[in-house]
Amino acid sequence: MAKDFVIMATATATKRPFGETELIVLMASLMALQALGIDSMLPALGHIGDDLGALGNDRQYVISSYFLGAGIGAFFPGAFADRFGRRPVLFLGLVSYVVLSLACAMVTEYWMLIGLRIAQGILCAGLSVVPTAIVRDRVGGDRMARMMSLIIMIFLAVPIFAPAIGQLVLMVAGWREIFVVMALLAIAVGIWTWLRLPESLAEENVQEIDPPTILRNMGKSLSNRVSFGYVAGSSLVFGSLFGFLNSSQQLISEAFGAGDYFALIFGASVFGMVIASFTNSRIVERFGARRVSHTALLGFLLVSLAQLAFAGPEQTLWTFVPLLALSMTMLGFVGANFSSIAMQPFQQIAGAASSAHMSLRMITGAVLGAVIGQAYDGTAVPLAIAMLLCSLVSLALVLFSERGKLFRRPSEARRYMLLHDIMRH
């Protein structure tokens, strides 16, 4: 039955070759819908709060609820994608994205909106999980890190423009119309996916839907020492980024009094991640994912120290934004590389591994982001403390995975992983 799904899905794709460039752009577009669902909301949080009666830090739940739902939902799509193929799971996510976006546009109660956002995060989690599995189906090693860097580079263009999209919509309509725009963009990406994306799940890699097997595969992907430190480490450093997302509207608009320039400032902060992802795609195969990402993690730690030194009631945008942009730049070198290193041992269970990894990242990020956001006190101090602590623990986790040795050359890392696999079997 599962083989029939794979054959039918492949038959729908056009005969024109589906090349690497189109793969990269389409995977980035699918993942970008998730970012759009978060970042386009940021300028509207005040309007939503006023309209639906959410005051103070409570308005942040519009963001953190989606993160939490995506983390919970990420447990499931990988297993189904390993059984029925990548395409059916993607289309479930796309249809859910459209329907629930339109439902969010019609709510009359704040907690109804939060419930729908959690449901949307759960049902649309495949849009984040499955693209990584599709890339792993096709390539591995540092080539995967290069492709993921390009995907993330395109994906990260969305946080630059999404707040501007939200602000533009607010200039001519209300916050509800932002959800309508989200639905329309998802329909466009869905049509492209239906017409062009071939099924990438190999028949020999089809897995049974067997809860013990699924849990065992997920357990393998999280208990592997080489993989665990990178999954948990990236969960923490990106959790601090989620903390910024939760409190960004209040920080920029209220603490620094620059609400009219929110989209521009937010985009400038994120732009460094785009540059870093492009640069990473050019250098990672030469220097190796480990050497690049370890250097970036240390850089993130140092910038966090500087951010803490400047944080306080007297801090201005002129110190906050440049340091935040540097932090984002470092994360641009961390994300794709950590993800690729963590996925290397799991080609045959790429879907389950991607689900487990994404779930850990999103749940950790949602919880950390909510805690950091709720700690907002009118200054950037809670955010700076969180960034520093998260970077320190992340470094410790990477050292655990690498048995105390950083900056391995690609050949050394491959020999270590091969020896590790031999010893396990």
Across the range 222-236, mean pLDDT stands at 89
Is there a domain that residue 82 lies in?
Answer: yes
Greater confidence, 136 or 371? 371
Which pTM does this prediction carry? 0.74
What would the 3-class secondary structure string for the chain be? CHHHHHHHHHHCCCCCCCCHHHHHHHHHHHHHHHHHHHHCCHHHHHHHHHHHCCCHHHHHHHHHHHHHHHHHHCCCHHHHHHHHCHHHHHHHHHHHHHHHHHHHCCCCCHHHHHHHHHHHHHHCCHHHHHHHHHHHHHCCHHHHHHHHHHHHHHHCHHHHHHHHHHHHHHHHCCCHHHHHHHHHHHHHHHHHHHHHCCCCCCHHHCCCCCHHHHHHHHHHHHHCHHHHHHHHHHHHHHHHHHHHHHHHHHHHHHHCCCHHHHHHHHHHHHHHHHHHHHHHHHHHHHHCHHHHHHHHHHHHHHHHHHHHHHCCCCCCHHHHHHHHHHHHHHHHHHHHHHHHHHHCCCCCCHHHHHHHHHHHHHHHHHHHHHHHHHCCCCCCHHHHHHHHHHHHHHHHHHHHHCCCCCCCCHHHHHHHHHHHHHHHC
Inside any domain, residue 12: no
The answer to the question of residue 2 being in a domain is no
Q: For the chain, first and last CA: distance in Å?
A: 31
pLDDT(14) > 90 = no
CB-based contact 77:126 (threshold 8 Å): yes
Q: What pLDDT, on the 0 to 100 scale, is given for residue 15?
A: 56
How high is the pLDDT of residue 411? 54
Whether 4 is in a domain gets the answer no
Average pLDDT, the chain: 84
Cβ burial 80-97 (10 Å sphere, 16+ → b, else e) = bbbbbbbbbbbbbbbebb
Mean pLDDT along residues 105-131 = 93
pLDDT of residue 97: 97
What confidence score (pLDDT) does residue 418 get?
46
**Is position 371 within any domain?**
yes
Amino acid identity, position 192: W
Confidence of residue 266 (pLDDT cuts 50, 70, 90): confident
Specify the number of domains making up the chain: 1
Percentage of residues of the chain with pLDDT beyond 90: 32
- Pairwise pLDDT comparison (42 vs 259), residue with the higher score: 42
Ranking 74-78, 123-127, 416-420 by mean pLDDT, the lowest is 416-420
**Is 9 a domain residue?**
no
Region 186-195: mean pLDDT is 95
CB–CB of 340/144 below 8 Å? yes
Domain hosting 70: range is 18-203+210-424
Q: Identify the CATH number of the domain in which residue 326 sits.
A: 1.20.1250.20
* Closest to 166 (Cα-Cα) out of 240, 51, 259: 259
pLDDT of 303 > 90? The answer is: yes
- Residue in 392, 96, 154 with CA at minimum distance from that of residue 384: 392
Residues 391-420 pLDDT 10s:
999 999 999 988 888 887 655 555 544 444
Q: Is residue 50 part of a domain?
A: yes
What pLDDT is attached to residue 423? Answer: 44
Name the more confident of 142 and 305.
305
Average pLDDT over residues 77-85: 84
More confident residue, 107 or 271: 107
